Amino acid sequence: MTDSKYFTTTKKGEIFELKAELNSDKKEKKKEAVKKVIASMTVGKDVSALFPDVVNCMQTDNLELKKLVYLYLMNYAKSQPDMAIMAVNTFVKDCEDSNPLIRALAVRTMGCIRVDKITEYLCEPLRKCLKDEDPYVRKTAAVCVAKLHDINAQLVVANAVAAISEIMDASPNAASVLEMNSGTINKLLTALNECTEWGQVFILDSISNYTPKDEREAQSICERVTPRLAHANAAVVLSAVKVVMKLMEMLDTGGDYVTSLVKKLAPPLVTLLSAEPEIQYVALRNINLIVQKRSEILKNEMKVFFVKYNDPIYVKLEKLDIMIRLTSQSNIAQVLAELKEYATEVDVDFVRKSVRAIGRCAIKVEPAAERCVSTLLDLIQTKVNYVVQEAIVVIKDIFRKYPNKYESIIATLMLSDENTQVQLQLLTAIVKLFLKRPTDTQELVQQVLSLSTQDSDNPDLRDRGYIYWRLLSTDPAAAKEVVLAEKPLISEETDLIEPTLLDELICHISSLASVYHKPPNAFVEGRGGLRKVLPPKSEQAEGLVEELGAQEPTAAPPQPTVIPGADSLIGDLLDMDMGSGPSMMQQQMYPAQPAAPTPAGGSGGMDIFGEGLDNLLGGGSTGGDMLGGLGDIFGMPQTQSYVPPQEVWLPASKGKGLEITGTFARKNNQINMELTFTNKAMQPMSGFAVQFNKNSFGLMPAQVAIKNNIDVFYMSTHVPLHVLFMEDGEMDKKIFLATWKDIPSPNEVQYTINNVPHNADTVSSKLRNNNVFTIAKRNVEGQDMLYQSLKLTNGIWILAELKIQPSNPSFVLSLKARAVDVYEAVKQVYENILHN
Amino acid sequence: MIHSLFIINNTGDVFMEKHWKSVIHKSICDYFFEAQTKAGSPEDISPIIATPHHYLINIYRNQLYYVAVVTTEVPPLFVIEFLHRVVDVFEDYFQGCSESILKEHYVIVYELLDEMLDNGFPLAMEANILKELIKPPNFLRTITDTITGKTTGVSATLPTGQLSNVPWRRTGVKYTNNEAYFDVIEEVDAIIDKSGSTVTAEIQGYIDCMVKLSGMPDLTLTFVNPRFLDDVSFHPCIRFKRWETEKILSFVPPDGNFRLLSYHIGSNNMVAIPVYLKHNIFYREGSAGRFDVTVSQKTTMGKTVENLVLECPFPKAVLNVTLTPNQGKYTFDPVTKVMTWEVGRLETTRSPNIKGTINLQTGSPVPESNPTLSLQFTISTLAISGLKVNRLDMYGEKYKPFKGVKYLTKAGKFQVRT
């Protein structure tokens, strides 16, 4: 007599039978029938045809039966909206039942029925339930408001406003949608002690969105949050860690309080690692972020990351990653012994990663490099093919990090049964060795070259062998230049997350973003929201302002509100441009440097492609002109607008060998972003994809993501102001005059631009090419006066007066606009254009 | 928040689904099955799987997968904790949590799921409250129900504790015998290397309680040596302030069984290793390899090691083993290649030994490395860290309760590399 019997009915005419039973007079039979219906529903059978009969059973005083019917309703109401109306009356009646449990159940279920027509009827009972005398009913009703919002947003706002005070009392969760200030934060912190563990997670998450006004407040919040670190619920612990990590940014780094916080953070993180494997996984992903931000927290806890042989593979791989991040001179011996142990395990992925980890240790901890190399050699002796492959690949990196130190071991490696990638690497390595120590390795190199060209049936290997052979036989000096070309030093830490992204992810500790190590807007659907940033360190921020002030006494304080309707993100961007403007522009005033020479010898497919394309298109030798070249071909008018020299946006050390330089230019009435990709790594890159995370201007990429076969990289770019000058920036003379008068004189600022080697006409045409239009020219007492106008893409007009004395290379520029903040940048643009 | 839950068995049948918002078709589980085919073993499925529109967060317990579907950014630990808690509740209700048990009680399962989560938010998770709302099935009730023809598993009244300041405790508790038992249990996690030295060792401890006290008792528990407890996780009932300042555990206990606290004693402390293994294992191509392991007692503070079980997972290349133990008996599973030796009690007078030959499959290469042995054992009346309860006092009620403390040490993940 157990309920599992209901799972077995598969007879024909079953629905018909159930229908009869549901309409039976006997209560017991009715209930049995409903149970059968639910069982069918569970295994995925369609029992929606029974809707009216089941709804008929709803009016009952048997609570269990009622619950079962409600369960049915929640599943099927959506597919039978018209019939669902039949249930409304009973719901409304139940909402006024004397038993609070039934009232709550009714309002709860009603909220789950996602049918528009029902929601209309729901409002009134819900309003009543929000004011119910029983707190349990109020609590349920509060959650119901959120459900309703999901279904019908308009309807709910009015109700919600009325209910909010009660929601605050009954369910602190709702507070997360409210504006934060010290007052609400205080309330939340108090509520933290009284609500359930699940509520605590939401509260802590809301607190983490709040930026305290000063260090003192940050510290007091930390003090009230830290007890949560000892909670039994892992989610509460990790959310508390998030709050503390974020607030620590605001605290004085050297202070005692931070030191004590760092001490408090380690134990809870370690404890998470003794929980269920799924929890361990999430914890490890987050710890990975935390140790990148503050390695001091776990520096003494290396041993908890040692791998147990029966850990799930996803835990093993994560532990390994963190072990390497925590490796230092003091614990390298232990770590190496462990890694060597792991390299003999069964799981291939794990073994490969372990071998690679040994190489990373060698690169990270210099004094241990020798030990690492000998460990790798031991592993090569095992002759397990994937171990040997990985070992050789990492030894290559070790050579790059410590040139001229370990090359002699190459002789011990054999060129025979390895896979192609390894053979290629070996060949290159041996040729390099020969070029450095020709005397002791002549025999070896000859042997290898003949092996690769004659005995190998791999065309790539043969080709490379022939190339080296010919190079070496015709011109050893050239060979040296090609093969031993300087490569960027390999960085100490690979796989580090780009710092701004890391900071953003720290704000998302405990969330899905922290597991994927990607910002939430990159993968959560419909998540446009503001990006979270760590709070600035209070002292530092002040320092920066002072510095700026000293440099530019005339600079107006940045006012993000200049642009009408701009949200804070635009403000940020403007601020950023203003702030970093001077130094950035100075960089650009240096003579344009030719693009970095493509490293020869590296097997970079991209380089060849890039250069070839340039030549084909007949463009200049720098990648920046590629687009210009295109323009030529198609006979388009080539505007000679000013193009700032390319800047390095993604240095090779961060891009794992991929270097990206770029600039912005305005061409053919459009803003162009020009990018040059250079492969400075030793392997070809492929599978490129670019994503622009645009800001609310809709055009300027604030952040660019580049993906290739190796990884995803992020870089931020600065858009120079002049690309935003519009083509229709020519003002009518009269309007110009009127506007000039209209703008109050305090808004007028004068700058001097020195050493301009041009006369008034060239200046005028140069500026015109950049959409700065000369409206009138006057000659006053031997001086040329140019009156100019320009318009920014967001509709801001800027008026200028340029005073040129024929014998004096210093020009005087007066600017007038309603938005004073842009002056500095505009002046820079003038300088750049006129000096170009 | 949590949108839906699918329960999937080992053969890939979705045999139960529950939706707290709109219904998501179970074809969403195809993404899960895809991950399942990629994973080497059932435990290796990544706990979080991204699909184009949803995230699948899953746990694996008792041969069943519990797959939660979420659509919005939500703390994954929140979901994982919730899922584990759900399984805990099922186990508590049904004394087990297999597919057949869940199917047998599916109505209660639905009722519980409905009560635990509302609109994707946890509502009532405390076992105390749930049991007041939905009565657990028991044999006697099934009989009376069958006779009287009435089944009322659902309570018609609102649980009292739900909104009080002590949500974990119901009011109006009454017992004729008032008793409180505390079990201090410590698990030793260790990795021992080939040479017998300790690579890492730590203790995972917890105090499980069984408290049956009438009324609203207010308890304080003190330790002889609280300094051991610097990394702790508390049940919400413990007043954190008093622990911070006085190192006293002060709390109003939940009714019945619960975990009062768990603690962790890290590898930076000295952890005693109770047993020692001497081993000699090697494979030989073509002929039989050797397996020879001796267990002896190390540091046990004069107590006896019991229920000793040694497990040796052999690599796939091993065909079978022929061993002779001088104590206990052994089994070899030819499918998983796991050898299990049930040793039993570890007497101080003689050291149990098992030895014999390992036969490889013909043609298989000699395995690279030796297997890692794992050990299970218990030592009663001992907390290996040395933690000791000083006294338990009760305030707020007049009666005199019966009190008891028990200590137990167990092997956790205790592994010996060979």
Phi (first) and psi of residue B177, to 5 degrees: -105, 115
Place of tokens 């109700």: A159
Q: Is the pLDDT of residue B325 over 60?
A: yes
CA-to-CA distance for B182 and B177, rounded, in angstroms? 16
Does A313 sit within 8 Å of B119, measured CB to CB? no
Does A44 sit within 8 Å of B26, measured CB to CB? yes
State the average pLDDT over residues B161-181: 76
Please report the pLDDT score of residue A695 as a whole number: 54
Q: For the ranges A41-45, A538-542, B5-9, B315-319, which has the lowest average pLDDT?
A: A538-542
How far B15 CA sits from the closest chain A CA (Å)? 6
Average pLDDT, chain B: 86
Please report the pLDDT score of residue B67 as a whole number: 94
Q: Which of A70, A114, A206, A308 to mutate to test the interface with B (most CBs of B within 10 A)?
A: A308
Phi (first) and psi of residue A347, to 5 degrees: -70, 120
Q: Which of A26, A35, A42 to mutate to test the interface with B (most CBs of B within 10 A)?
A: A42
Sort residue A383 into left (φ over 0), alpha (ψ -120 to 50) or beta: left
CA-to-CA distance for B104 and B95, rounded, in angstroms? 12
Radius of gyration of chain B (CA): 25
Does A205 sit within 8 Å of B236, measured CB to CB? no
Does B199 sit within 8 Å of A271, measured CB to CB? no
**Where would I find the beta strands (DSSP E) of B267-362?**
275-282, 289-297, 305-313, 318-325, 329-333, 338-346, 353-360
Q: Tell me the three state secondary structure of residue B123.
A: coil
- Comparing CA positions, the residue from A582, A536, A573 lying closest to residue A555 is A582
For Cα atoms A156, A159, A161, give the angle at the middle one, nearest 5 degrees: 105
List residues bridging with B392 in a β-sheet: B221
Give A59's contacts (C-beta < 8 A, 6+ positions apart). Answer: A90
Q: Which ipTM value was assigned to this complex?
A: 0.81
How far A571 CA sits from the closest chain B CA (Å)? 27
Q: Which residues of A touch B106 (CB under 8 A)?
A: 3-4, 6-7, 38-39, 42
Give A726's contacts (C-beta < 8 A, 6+ positions apart). Answer: A771, A790, A791, A792, A793
Amino acid identity at B308:
L
Confidence of residue B295 (pLDDT cuts 50, 70, 90): very high
Choose among A111, A235, A313: nearest Cβ to B81.
A235
**Residue A759: how many CA atoms within 13 Å on its side-chain side?**
4
A471 touches chain B (CB under 8 A): no
Scanning every residue of chain A, which has its alpha carbon at the shortest distance from the alpha carbon of B264?
A271
Complete DSSP assignment for A430-475: HHHHHHHSHHHHHHHHHHHHHIIIII---HHHHHHHHHHHHHHHH-
**Where would I find the beta strands (DSSP E) of A739-823?**
749-753, 773-780, 783-791, 797-804, 811-817
Q: 10 Å Cβ neighbour count for A446?
A: 13
Q: Which residues of A touch B267 (CB under 8 A)?
A: 301, 303-304
A831 touches chain B (CB under 8 A): no
Determine the straight-line distance between the first and last CA of chain B, rounded to whole angstroms.
47
Q: Which residues of B touch A173 (CB under 8 A)?
A: 121
Does A140 sit within 8 Å of B118, measured CB to CB? yes
CA-to-CA distance for B306 and B242, rounded, in angstroms? 38
From chain A residues 495-554, the ones with a CB under 8 A of any chain B CB are 510-513, 515-516, 520, 523-525, 527
Please report the pLDDT score of residue B230 as a whole number: 81
Give A243's contacts (C-beta < 8 A, 6+ positions apart). Answer: A204, A207, A208, A221, A222, A225
Please report the pLDDT score of residue B374 as a whole number: 92
Q: Which residues of B touch A347 (CB under 8 A)?
A: 40
Phi (first) and psi of residue A657, to 5 degrees: 100, -15
A310 touches chain B (CB under 8 A): yes
Choose among B16, B76, B125: nearest Cβ to A512.
B76
- Comparing CA positions, the residue from B386, B20, B28, B59 lying closest to residue B229 is B386
Amino acid identity at A276:
E
Does A513 sit within 8 Å of B121, measured CB to CB? no
List residues bridging with B69 in a β-sheet: B4, B56
Alpha-carbon dihedral A487, A492, A498, A504, rounded to 10 degrees: 180
Please report the pLDDT score of residue A661 as a whole number: 80
State the average pLDDT over residues B34-38: 88
How far A281 CA sits from the closest chain B CA (Å)? 8
**Two tokens, residue B68:** 């939660």
Does B107 sit within 8 Å of A35, measured CB to CB? yes
CA-to-CA distance for A659 and A105, rounded, in angstroms? 61
CA-to-CA distance for B192 and B198, rounded, in angstroms? 5
CB burial string B99-126: b at 16+ within 10 A, e below: bebbbbbbbbbbbbbbbbbbbbbbbbbb
The answer to whether A144 and A159 have CB atoms below 8 angstroms apart is: no
Does A281 sit within 8 Å of B21, measured CB to CB? no
Q: Which residues of B touch A314 (CB under 8 A)?
A: 44, 46-47
Choose among A230, A310, A511: nearest Cβ to B75.
A511
List residues bridging with A383 in a β-sheet: none
Does B80 sit within 8 Å of A234, measured CB to CB? yes
Q: Is the pLDDT of residue B379 over 90?
A: yes
How far B49 CA sits from the closest chain A CA (Å)? 10
Please report the pLDDT score of residue B108 as a whole number: 87
CA-to-CA distance for A753 and A811, rounded, in angstroms? 5
Task: Tell me which H or E stretch contains A24.
Answer: none
CA-to-CA distance for A99 and B183, rounded, in angstroms? 41
CA distances from A307 to A329, A339, A404, B116 (A): 20, 9, 35, 35
Choose among A3, A338, A512: nearest Cβ to B73.
A512
- pTM for this structure? 0.64
Please report the pLDDT score of residue B228 as a whole number: 85
Please report the pLDDT score of residue A780 as a whole number: 74
Helices A277-293 and A234-248 sit at what angle, rounded to 10 degrees? 10
- Those residues of chain A that have pLDDT short of 50 are 1, 10, 154-177, 525-529, 539-639, 696-697
How far A294 CA sits from the closest chain B CA (Å)? 20
Choose among A108, A233, A511: nearest Cβ to B118.
A108
The answer to whether A699 and A671 have CB atoms below 8 angstroms apart is: yes
List residues bridging with B192 in a β-sheet: B198, B416
The pLDDT tens digits for A519-548 are 776 655 444 445 666 776 554 434 333 333
CA-to-CA distance for B23 and A111, rounded, in angstroms? 14
Does B46 sit within 8 Å of A314, measured CB to CB? yes
Asked whether the CA dihedral A646, A647, A653, A654 is positive or negative, the reply is negative
For Cα atoms B410, B411, B414, give the angle at the middle one, nearest 5 degrees: 170
A271 touches chain B (CB under 8 A): yes
Does A338 sit within 8 Å of B163, measured CB to CB? no
Please report the pLDDT score of residue A414 as a whole number: 54
Please report the pLDDT score of residue B155 as a whole number: 59
Q: Which residues of A touch B39 (CB under 8 A)?
A: 313
CA-to-CA distance for A822 and A722, rounded, in angstroms? 11
The pLDDT tens digits for A216-252 are 888 889 988 988 888 888 999 999 999 999 988 888 7
Q: Which residues of B touch A64 (CB under 8 A)?
A: 107, 111, 151-154
**Two tokens, residue B294:** 């001796």
Q: Tell me the three state secondary structure of residue A561.
A: helix
Scanning every residue of chain A, which has its alpha carbon at the shortest distance from the alpha carbon of B27?
A44
A138 touches chain B (CB under 8 A): no
The distance of Cα A621 from the centroid of its chain, to the nearest Å, equals 34
Antiparallel, parallel or unpaired: β B64-70 and B198-212: unpaired
